[in-house]
Amino acid sequence: MKRVRLLILSLFLLLMQFVAAQQQDSVQRKKTKVHIEHYDKATFSKSMGDMQRLLGHVRIRHDSAYFFCDSAYFYEKTNSFDAYQNVHIIVNDSVEIFSDLLNYDGNARFAEFFDNVKLMDDSTTLYTEYLTYDRNRHLAAYPDSATTVRGDKTLISCLGYYRDDLKELSFFENVEVTSPKYQMFTDTLYYNTDIEKMWFLGPTTIINKENILDGEHGYYLVNEDVVFLDKRPFLHNETQCMWSDSIHYDRNRGLAKAFSHVDMIDTSYKVIMRGDYMELWERKNFSFATDSAYAISYDGGDSLYIHGDTLFMHFDKQKEEVEKLIARRNVRFFKNDMQGKCDTLTYLMVDSIIRMRVNPVLWAEDSQLTGTDIDIKVNGESIDWVMQKGNAFIISKDSVEGYNQIKGADILSHFRNGNIQRVNVDGDNAETLYWIRDDDGGLIGIDVSRSATMVIEMKHNSISAIKGYSNISETMYPEDDLKESSRYLQGFKWHDGARPTDKDDIFRHVEAEMPQAETETVSSETQTDTTAETQKEQPKRHRERKNPE
């Protein structure tokens, strides 16, 4: 290890000499003489090359720089000197350097400082054991570790430079920055103290009490406490992780902005939120994503995919977990056992309840559920129950033709293994219309039932029993006796063309569904909503319906 350090030091010195020579040739500065201004005692030795030994309160001047020390050896022919003990150089109005030993070449305007070296410039202080200073280039350099202190910040690195004219520090290898607010670890760091800005290159980690930031390239605005990272940076705390192509983090506001290919994961409730733009507000305990935004709830084998124009994730800061997920505008979601669309969706993580608002439609296996509002209780990977509040409707296709329908003010459906098991219809106006078939699939009749409330038992997505309460009426119609317009309960709409078919289909834009009239005069509320693609799959008489005037 010692040999390696010596090799690095030798290469460093050669590089510095080469750079100094290049600078000397290009600038072609006029050589100036080193002047001895004061000493208490002096001796002269011709045998040592016209060397003068100066003792006591030595003061030497070269151009505008002043050198102070306890003793010195001055070489007049080479215009150079060595200074010992309490060495102090005043380079200009702001830069001063201290050390135990100094070698200075007046012709090259180049100094080497050894042991207990300290460079001071304004409010910046650099400590090291070996330092070179090129006055021509205003460049201080160290090849073997140094500590720099500026204000409340401490910067440590193995190799570094300082340009006092530009007020710019350069740090390389095992760079560490420590302040009361954060710690930073990187390979390469440039720090302009004039504008208080740091640039970092290579793997970088920034740690503070709120989170940890990892990246490979970016900058830090010291006074504003703002960090920018690109090249796929990573932000994480105990329960949330965020990746993106770039991250802008404002520590004072507790705000992280992520741009392009953003992924945010909450490990407490196993939720992933994605988009091309995202904001994380740590102190307000929420984040939101937009631009191709979607969320994935991956707790279990069957993941839930939710898309909306904008997604919000709210956190419980005390429990450090997701409290709820909100999707707004053009919401569509897909899960193997259920799909849906609405304008606003709220997923309460703690209660495992999904609330659908504004024109909600839910598909579960062969059933379509609609209402003014829909609440879904999820138990593990499956639906536990669904509550449809206001204008509630359940529709499923008959095995041959027509639609089986359940309607009421409110409907509570209990599920088992993804299928409806029991339905409670409330609201003083419960209705069903059902195509009853024998075991061979032959049509027995079309049953139309009405009562104040109903309890319907289901088996294999078919009605096995209906129990009505108060004001009960039930009629079984032969197919030919029930006219086409009467085969649809009031408010019937079939939205199958809008149903997401897989996790990628949640991004498909669904056009406004145009109602399709029956062949006979019916209420506008008894129309079928389908896309052209779905209409082609329906019986011919449905396709031939004319739109109302």
Mean pLDDT by 10 residues, the chain (549 residues): 43 50 51 95 78 95 96 94 97 92 97 97 94 96 95 95 94 95 94 95 90 92 93 86 93 92 85 92 88 85 90 77 87 92 91 92 92 91 90 89 91 88 89 87 89 87 82 88 90 92 89 43 35 34 29
Report the run of H or E that residue 18 belongs to, with start and end: helix 2-27
The sign of the dihedral angle between the CA atoms of 399, 403, 406, 412 is positive
Report the run of H or E that residue 532 belongs to, with start and end: helix 532-535
Residue pair 313/273 in contact by the 8 Å Cβ criterion: yes
- SS3 call for 10: helix
Report the run of H or E that residue 519 belongs to, with start and end: none
For residues 538 and 530, give the distance between their C-alpha atoms in angstroms, rounded to a whole number: 10
For residues 111 and 30, give the distance between their C-alpha atoms in angstroms, rounded to a whole number: 18
Residue 301: the pLDDT is 72
Residue showing tokens 């109602």: 515
| Strand bridging mode 212-221 / 226-230 | antiparallel
CA-atom Rg of the chain in angstroms: 40
Residue pair 50/26 in contact by the 8 Å Cβ criterion: no
Domains assigned to the chain: 33-139 (2.60.450.10), 392-543 (no CATH)
Residue pair 141/114 in contact by the 8 Å Cβ criterion: no
Which value, to the nearest 10 degrees, does the dihedral of the CA atoms of residues 88, 91, 97, 101 take?
-50
Residue showing tokens 């659908």: 356
pTM of the model: 0.74
- In 3D space, the residue among 457, 486, 446, 453 whose CA is nearest the CA of residue 471 turns out to be 453
